Structure 1
């Protein structure tokens, strides 16, 4: 994950990336390139939709038998009426400052599909006017 974040950091060197990464999380069943795609999509969205230069927080932690990834920004928040469908294919927020952001509307859909592929979950706890917070959980490997 660190490689993907560093690559994205070079695209937005002015951004304040804040990390709180739990060490020693087992890899679980997740295929690393697919997990990397989840990180790239979520951090990429945080960069695109928070052009004001506010911080982007990236947190990993154990959540029971899963690893949890949280990506938070202080940018354009997602309106409450859009939250239930924000992970749908081609779904884009077409209101306010979000209209000026280019994209296909597939990034979050891919995040959720990859999370489900690994028996995990993806969701958004954004509060309108307070930025966005995306969460992903992926099951951890069970020690043999």
Structure 2
């Protein structure tokens, strides 16, 4: 049978209010005693305490008066302490379970939103590719004079259109590449990172010469092969070299260093450029993140190059990080597991 008492009402209510045990030796002799069962003649009530906070009461009763002793009170108090701990632990477990379920639900919702966002970006990117190809093709025809002569002002305007079209084309290509890295299976085979680095450096030489930047490669002759996808790893080198050259001053040097660690090949790409503020380092690999809008306008870029690097390296089971000091340059590091180290 259920009964409700307010805090301070009746014996149990008083115990809950004062956090002090109470013993009614004879309920019939207790003025104002609230009966829920006339058969109860003796009642002992102790508080359930958790860190000096009352969470309830524990009581015993008997059909005869003067049924309990001080020893009974001590025993009941011990039992109440154990019961209070058990109740509080159960509450905590239930609370943690509810929070875990809420977090799991929120996580699934975020995953679904992320999937929808990626799907939207991918669809838009693919839809943009065809019209961009037409725009680029017609601009090139116009610049080549295949559609009639142009004056200098027209040529200048078309070159601006061509440059902006190339920028958007690169952006679309990077977005599609990010999606492909997430979805495709890497072709992992033993590869020479030294050979890949040399090819990437050769491909970057023309840009480096225009910038007045020297590229140096350091690698031991006996460097073991890494386990990787050759094409994707070349993209990592291309992106890091492109960044290093872009932010290096004329007469600067870009150094590419490869060395063996216990279970991986460590690659460093260093420049003598403008550096990255310490408070920006954690976000430097985020998609579309730009350290400074003015730098973006000055140096260009889509904000996806380093995100692509991170995706590719982590897909190989490696990791990527950066150290930098403003005005002194940056060093990007990444590791790729050695061939034979994966189970």
TM-score, normalized by the shorter chain, greater than 0.5: yes
Q: CA offsets per residue over residues 76-124 of structure 1, 9 Å max, x none? A: 1011110010000011111665541100000111111101000000100
Distance 2:297 2:250 in 1: 15
Partner of 1:53: 251
Alignment of 1:87-126 (within 5 A): 87-94=285-292, 97=295, 99-126=297-324
C-alpha contact 1:68 1:137 (8 A) present in aligned 2:
yes
| Offset, 1:25 | 2.5
C-alpha contact 2:208 2:214 (8 A) present in aligned 1:
no
List runs of 5+ in structure 1 lacking aligned partners: none
User: Residue 20 in 1 paired to residue 218 in 2?
Assistant: yes
How many residue pairs end up in the alignment? 143
User: Residue 6 in 1 paired to residue 170 in 2?
Assistant: no
Higher-Rg member (1/2): 2
Per the alignment, in what secondary structure is the counterpart of residue 135 of structure 1?
A: strand
| Offset, 1:60 | 0.4
Greater percentage in strand: 1
TM-score under structure 2 normalisation? Answer: 0.40
Distance 1:37 1:23 in 2: 23
Distance 1:98 1:50 in 2: 14
| CA RMSD, Structure 1 to Structure 2 (Å) | 1.6
Partner of 1:29: 227
User: Residue 138 in 1 paired to residue 312 in 2?
Assistant: no
Distance 1:98 1:73 in 2: 18
Partner of 2:270: 72
Distance 1:97 1:111 in 2: 20
| Offset, 1:51 | 3.3
Larger RCO: 1 or 2 (CA < 8 Å, sep 6+): 1
Distance 1:24 1:38 in 2: 22
Q: CA offsets per residue over residues 33-64 of structure 1, 9 Å max, x none? A: 11100000000000111133310001000021
Greater percentage in helix: 2
C-alpha contact 1:93 1:99 (8 A) present in aligned 2:
no
C-alpha contact 1:76 1:97 (8 A) present in aligned 2:
no
| Offset, 1:19 | 1.4
Query: Alignment partner for residue 238 of structure 2, among 20, 40, 47?
Result: 40
